[in-house]
Amino acid sequence: MIILDPMNKNNSILRWIPAIGMMVVIFGFSSITSKDMPSFGLWDLFVKKGGHMIGYGLLVTAYWYGLRFDKRRWWLALLLALLYAISDEFHQSFVPGRHPSWVDALLIDGSGAAIILLAVAWARKKMR
């Protein structure tokens, strides 16, 4: 049940604000044209792919937070992150000089999301 009381600490809608924020940030970075994209020299590939992994790791964590860190729904958080990665690659096909890469979506973004999801699950288990 969706509760609209902002003072309720279990508010369902407010729990999704971090996920929406991360989606906006990812969309913003994906909207940068290739000519405006910074270059990091020898570190370029590492920085950009690492950024993908961290961004989708934060996104999957935000999705799982929205799902109340329910142990039975970790897979849904991962699926949502993968679907957003795929839609983001489609979005990049409309940005000048950018092109969609299914390798980025499924391998880089997906592995970043999975690694961070495992790390968060492990850390939450250790905290208990």
Each domain of the chain, given as residue ranges in start order, spans 14-32+52-127
Q: How confident is the model at residue 12 (pLDDT cuts 50, 70, 90)?
A: confident
d(CA 108, CA 50): 8
Residues ≥6 apart with Cβ < 8 Å to 40: 46, 47, 48
Summarised one tens digit per residue, pLDDT across range 89-108 is: 999 999 999 999 999 999 99
Q: Give the position of tokens 């849904």.
A: 76
9 or 66, higher pLDDT: 66
pTM above 0.85, yes or no: yes
For residue 60, pLDDT over 50 is answered with yes
CA-based nearest residue to 1, from 9, 124, 25, 10 = 10
Q: How confident is the model at residue 128 (pLDDT cuts 50, 70, 90)?
A: confident
